[in-house]
Amino acid sequence: MTEEHDAAPAAATDDRRLRADCSRCFALCCVVPAFAASADFAITKPAGQACPNLQDDFRCAIHTRLPERGFRGCTVYDCFGAGQRVAQGTFGGTDWRRAPQTARQMFTVFPIVRDLHELLWYLTEALTLVSSEPLHAELSEALVTTERCVQGDPASILELDVAAIRQDVNALLLRASESARAGIRTAKDRRGADLIGAKLRGADLRGASLRGTYLIGADLRGADLRLADLTGADLRGADLTGADLTGSLFLIQSQLDAARGDRTTTLPQSLHHPAHW
C-alpha cells in the first residue's frame, strides 16, 4: 500500500440480505428496542412494547415526519436486514400479531440476528480490501460460520454465544484494518477517545483508528479521513462538510445519517449522501 491510500473498497454491501427491507418485516425495530425520552426520542418506550406510532399494517404513521416529531433516533437505526431475516426466514412469515405466542421469542431472537448481520456486513467489506488478501481465507470462513448461525431455528439462535462470536470476528476485523492502514506513517490511534465537540477542521486523520471514538458534534469539516477505521464511531451531529471519507473502513450508513455534511463530502462508493444533507 502507498502512503496515499489503498484501493477503495468495492460496494461491499450489494448483498440485499444485509440491507433492511421494511416491507418484509413486522416492524420489529418499532417494538423490540427500548428508548428513553431525549433529543433522539420524544417519548419513553419499554422494550417489547409497540411504539404508539405503529399502525396495524406495520407501517409508521409519522414516517415522513420523524425528525420534526422528535423521533430522530428512528431515522438512523439500521437492522442490516435482520428484520426480514427473522420475519420471513426464522419465523416463516408468521407475524407476532397473528400469532402472539411467538412474540416473546421473536423479540428475543431479533437483536441477536441483528448483531450477527452487522458482523456479516463488516466481514463482507473486509473481503473487498486488497490489503486483506492474506486474511481472505479466515475472513471467508468467519463469514460462512456467522451466516450459518443466523440460518438456525429460534431455539438454536437463542443458544448462540454472541459475545464470543463478536470477539472472534472483531479480532479478525482489527487485523484487516491494521493491514489496510499499515502504510500510512502519520496514522493516529484514537480508539475509544472522547472527542466530543473536538475542533478537527482540516485534520489529517488518514488511516487513523477511530474505533469506538466519541465524535459527537465534532467539527470535521474538510478533514482527511481516507482509510480511517470508523468502526462504531459515534458521529451524531458531527460536521463532515467537505470531509474526504474515501475508502474509510467499516463506516456504515446509519453513522452518516446521524451526522451533518453536504455534497462536497466524499464517501465510499457503497454508501450515499443522506437526504437531509
Residue 12 has pLDDT above 60, yes or no: no
Residue 158 has pLDDT above 50, yes or no: yes
pLDDT (tens digit per residue) in 101-156 = 999 999 999 999 999 999 999 999 999 999 999 999 999 999 999 999 999 999 99
Cα–Cα distance, 136 to 21 (Å, whole number)? 29
pLDDT (tens digit per residue) in 59-83 = 999 999 999 999 999 998 999 999 9
Tell me the C-alpha to C-alpha distance, in Å, between residue 5 and each of 107, 186, 201, 266.
42, 12, 20, 14
Rounded mean pLDDT of 254-265?
A: 96
Residue 225 has pLDDT above 80, yes or no: yes
* pLDDT reported for residue 192: 96
Tell me the C-alpha to C-alpha distance, in Å, between residue 50 and each of 23, 32, 124, 166, 267.
17, 8, 32, 29, 35
Q: In this structure, what C-alpha cell is assigned to residue 28?
A: 420489529
- pLDDT above 90 coverage of the chain, percent: 90
What is the CATH code of the structural domain delimited by 186-277? 2.160.20.80
Matching residue, cell 418484509: 24
Rounded to the nearest integer, the mean pLDDT of the chain is 93
If 0-12 CB within 10 Å is exposed, 13-18 middle and 19+ buried, where does residue 239 land? buried
* pLDDT reported for residue 4: 39
Are 96 and 106 spatial neighbours (Cβ–Cβ below 8 Å)?
yes
pLDDT (tens digit per residue) in 161-196 = 999 999 999 999 999 999 999 989 889 999 999 999
Q: CA triplet 89, 91, 96: central angle to 5 degrees?
A: 135
Are 16 and 23 spatial neighbours (Cβ–Cβ below 8 Å)?
no
Secondary structure (3-state) at 216:
coil
25: Cβ contacts below 8 Å, ≥ 6 apart: 58, 79, 83, 84, 86, 87
For the chain, the straight-line distance linking the first and the last C-alpha, in angstroms and rounded, comes to 33
| Domain spans of the chain, in order of start | 83-181, 186-277
Matching residue, cell 484494518: 177
Residue 10 has pLDDT above 60, yes or no: no
Strand partners, 224: 204, 244
Rounded mean pLDDT of 18-34?
A: 96
* pLDDT reported for residue 85: 97
Cα–Cα distance, 229 to 241 (Å, whole number)? 19
Cα–Cα distance, 63 to 48 (Å, whole number)? 20
- pLDDT above 70 coverage of the chain, percent: 95
Residue 261 has pLDDT above 50, yes or no: yes
* pLDDT reported for residue 16: 79
Return the sign of the alpha-carbon dihedral for residues 59, 269, 252, 204.
negative
pLDDT (tens digit per residue) in 38-61 = 999 999 999 999 999 999 999 999
Q: In this structure, what C-alpha cell is assigned to residue 21?
A: 427491507
Cα–Cα distance, 23 to 21 (Å, whole number)? 5
* pLDDT reported for residue 104: 97
Are 108 and 82 spatial neighbours (Cβ–Cβ below 8 Å)?
no
Name the amino acid, one letter, at 271.
Answer: L
Place 13 in a pLDDT band, splitting at 50, 70 and 90: very low
Cα–Cα distance, 249 to 259 (Å, whole number)? 17
* pLDDT reported for residue 1: 33
Strand partners, 175: none
